[in-house]
Amino acid sequence: MKKYIKMTWMETKLFLRDPLCTFFTMAFPLMYLFLFGFISGNEPTPMYGGRNMIEAAIPNLTAMIISMMGLTFITVTMATYREKGILRRLRTTPVSPLVLLVAQLVVVFAMTCLGMLLLVAAGKIFYNIAIQVNLFNVLAGFVLSSFCFFGIGFVLAGILPSARIAQIVGMVLLYPMILLSGAFFSLDLLPEGVQKVANYLPLTYVVKLLNGLWYGEPWRDHWLNVGVLSSILVLSVIVSIKAFQWE
């Protein structure tokens, strides 16, 4: 147990010492929130299908944090650890790779939560948004979405040959996905062809699920989203275990 605690605390410190990580998970989403607030306050906006701007932005920016964590942070960190021999060094000790994986997951999940909490807090303090959510439902959807994307991150880290390539592939997947999944503007505003493409992006299902639960829709309306995300999660756990390499 001691090694799990030490490793998790160490990875937390390393995360917080990396200015890029803290910026993209905390400052960057807040920046967008304030930018949206500057454009139209918390008024109804066509960008999010007539919903109030700030209220609607929170689940969508949370989806963005989740995707950044999975596709860039986990992918690049794990690929770097392997490439630089940090995993190899660890392998010469009696410790199991599971300790590092668990520590990574705990840290990334905690930081994603922190990013979301900052958005909610800023929304409440600066725009006095109405929060009438079923906390349990929203958190359950958040956990499922997060671990689905973390799983994808571990798969990419396992199959891509180097940290540099992992970074490029992560970015190439991330940015179009954020734009086309409905996280920045409602999918209804996009042409039909693009909407079809969106159906193949995992982030689209995160956006739909988080938005739905945020606005109090019941789970039965979201069986497809839950099904897709759960399948990706299970599949990515299996593949990442198979693809894991020490060096």
**Does 17 participate in binding other proteins (rule CB under 8 A)?**
yes
Using CB under 8 A as the binding criterion, the count of chain residues that bind other proteins stands at 20
Q: Would you count residue 132 as binding other proteins (CB under 8 A)?
A: no
Determine which residue in the list 26, 28, 40, 86 makes contact with other proteins, applying CB under 8 A.
86
Token representation of residue 112: 């994603």
What is the C-alpha R_g of the chain? 18
Q: In this chain, which of 36, 73, 81, 154 binds other proteins, going by CB under 8 A?
A: 81
Q: How far apart are CA 153 and CA 60, in angstroms?
A: 20
Pick from 27, 31, 35, 95 the residue near other proteins by CB under 8 A.
95
Give the range of 83-91, 143-151, 153-161, 197-205 binding other proteins by CB under 8 A.
83-91
Specify the residue, 76 or 148, whose C-beta has the smaller distance to other proteins.
Answer: 76
Nearer to other proteins, 103 or 180 (CB): 103
Under the binding rule (CB under 8 A), the answer on residue 6 touching other proteins is yes
Q: Kindly indicate which of the ranges 14-22, 61-69, 180-188, 214-222 contains the residues binding other proteins, using the contact rule CB under 8 A.
A: 14-22
Least Å distance, CB 165 to other proteins, is 19
Binding residue (CB under 8 A) for other proteins from 23, 41, 50, 84: 84
Q: Select the span of 2-10, 143-151, 177-185, 207-215 touching other proteins (CB under 8 A).
A: 2-10
Q: Does position 85 bind other proteins by CB under 8 A? A: yes
3-state secondary structure the chain: CHHHHHHHHHHHHHHHHCHHHHHHHHHHHHHHHHHHHHHHCCCEEHHHCCEEHHHHHHHHHHHHHHHHHHHHHHHHHHHHHHHCCHHHHHHCCCCCHHHHHHHHHHHHHHHHHHHHHHHHHHHHHHHCCCCCCCHHHHHHHHHHHHHHHHHHHHHHHHHCCCHHHHHHHHHHHHHHHHHHCCCCCCHHHCCHHHHHHHCCCHHHHHHHHHHHHHCCCCHHHHHHHHHHHHHHHHHHHHHHHHHCCCC
7 makes contact with other proteins (CB under 8 A)? yes
Residues that bind other proteins (CB under 8 A): 2-3, 6-7, 10, 13-14, 17-18, 81, 84-86, 88-89, 91-95
